[in-house]
Amino acid sequence: MAQDWWKGVVIYQIYPRSFQDDDGDGMGDLKGITRRLPHVADLGAEAIWLSPVFTSPMADMGYDVSDYRDIDPTFGTLAEFDALVARAHQLGLKVIIDQVLSHSSDRHPFFQESRLTRDNPKADWYVWADAKPEGSPPNNWQAIFGGPAWSWDVRRRQYYYHQFLPQQPDLNFHNPEVRAWALETLDFWLDRGVDGFRLDAMNHLFHDAQLRDNPPDIRPKSGPDYKPFEMQYPIHSKNRPETVAFTEVMRAHVEKRGPIALLAELGGDHHTSEQLTEYTAPGRLHLAYTNDLMTPAFSAAKVRRSVEGVAQGNPCWSFSNHDVPRHVGRWSGHAVDQDSFAKLTATLLLTLPGAVSLYQGEELGLTNTELSYEELVDPEGLTFWPDNPGRDGCRTPMPWENGAVHGGFSMAETTWLPLRRDHAARAVDVQAGDPDSVLEHYRAVLAYRRKSEALRTGGTEFLDTGEPALAFRRGGTHLCAFNLGTEPVTIDTGSPAKAEIASDGVEVAGTTVTLPGNGFLIAV
């Protein structure tokens, strides 16, 4: 394996509950994923990222882990995991798995022991603090899912810290035993053949040991914040210098095992670009998963600003994932139609500098599913409904076969989330082989990218174009031009261009390129 296989890699994110159900319980499983891996290989992705499959009570759909070294029965067994890894490698796919190290489930044996007394062997494995004299929490830190980030425990008569749900207590990474345990957990999965880790909430790993209050966010705002968490600059509860230092320990540790990649999720706040550059500096993490283009805003200026902001780092770009509304619907105000816009955004994403992560189903041009309150399972949606319906709308099952029960996802009577008819109509079997389909467009652009070192690892130089046009050169050889709007635009590229991949209606005349609404061009 190449030592730097992660450079320019295209990763396909699999949300296990929704990919393929082979045991008939209405939820996806490892056997189902293994059976469907040829789809990922045929698409042209080079790696898979599995969202958590570890033992969990599922308060946050597996991001609350109660056993880091076993598979939840919902998904299967360790033997089935090993079979999945073997099949992926047979197909030429790397395997990246989620690691949720910043916090565990409150049902993890470590936390159950930690909460018993203040002097047991695991007493300092989590973040505990006394109440203030009047009984309030030790500081003003807020939880991302709402309310204070502290919950009272009657056994220890102390507060414990949780940046997410109360069922997700934070591990204390100031404790060297916790850090050693985290590295040993990585070793457990490396021994099973994985090629890398997606490090969930990486910039949440350490907290301020003095438990100082976070200052208020005093930026001008157009309206009230949605959550109390958004009212603060979380400078003491995340993005601590100790976390950056530990990234160097992690990288040195895994690289003893060979070409292993560490991909960090950096939870969004006010300085994403600076953090990405800092976390992926030489000797630190290989890649950082940026959410800078997973926002409601979509414009040429936004894309350029995001890309130029991390030019000194190693980004992994994505437009959609399991935590945000699918981008084809999120940015639908820019769309001529669903297919045209899906092809435009696919081409744009796959020509950006750095690694790329595709979320299952976006190669079909899927939009979010609208769900009723009774259909929700996501704690964020259940808490903030109806203003925020949560994340379930982007987590519904993958449609494989139009006309089959539940789109070929499951033979169960009901599935954990519903698969609607509009998704089934865009199933894999409908689009495969159709040269005009979104799926075949993804395959074509991925194949082109894979053969082009300029698109994988080349430098980027933006052309000055007005909205809604965006254009840049990659590697000094490839021109990439896009119309993010619905009306035709004309740009001057400065030099003649020969089209390699283009949408219908693109016109190239000397140095002039005319792009129809949602038009795109890759040229040399």
Any idea which residues carry the catalytic annotation? 200, 265
**Nearest residue to 81 via CA among 32, 12, 13:** 32
- Alpha carbon 176 to its chain centroid, in Å, reads 29
The secondary structure of residue 61, as a DSSP letter, is T
In the chain, the amino acid numbered 61 is M
- Alpha carbon 80 to its chain centroid, in Å, reads 24
Positive or negative: CA dihedral 53, 56, 59, 64: negative
In the chain, the amino acid numbered 255 is E
CB 423 within 8 A of CB 366: yes
User: How far is the CA of 200 from the CAs of 97, 103, 133, 393, 424, in angstroms?
Assistant: 10, 10, 35, 21, 31
Contacts of 505 (CB under 8 A, 6+ apart): 515, 516, 519
**Nearest residue to 243 via CA among 277, 283, 273, 202:** 202
| Structure-block tokens of residue 290 | 């940026």
| Structure-block tokens of residue 386 | 């109806």
| φ and ψ of 382, to 5 deg | -65, -30
CB 381 within 8 A of CB 394: no
In the chain, the amino acid numbered 498 is K
Residues linked to residue 521 through DSSP beta bridges, in sequence order: 481, 502
CB 228 within 8 A of CB 147: yes
What is the DSSP pairing of strand 94-99 with strand 47-50? Answer: parallel
| φ and ψ of 499, to 5 deg | -65, 135
- Residue tagged 């203030």 (tokens): 132
**How far apart are alpha carbons 32 and 325 in whole angstroms?**
25
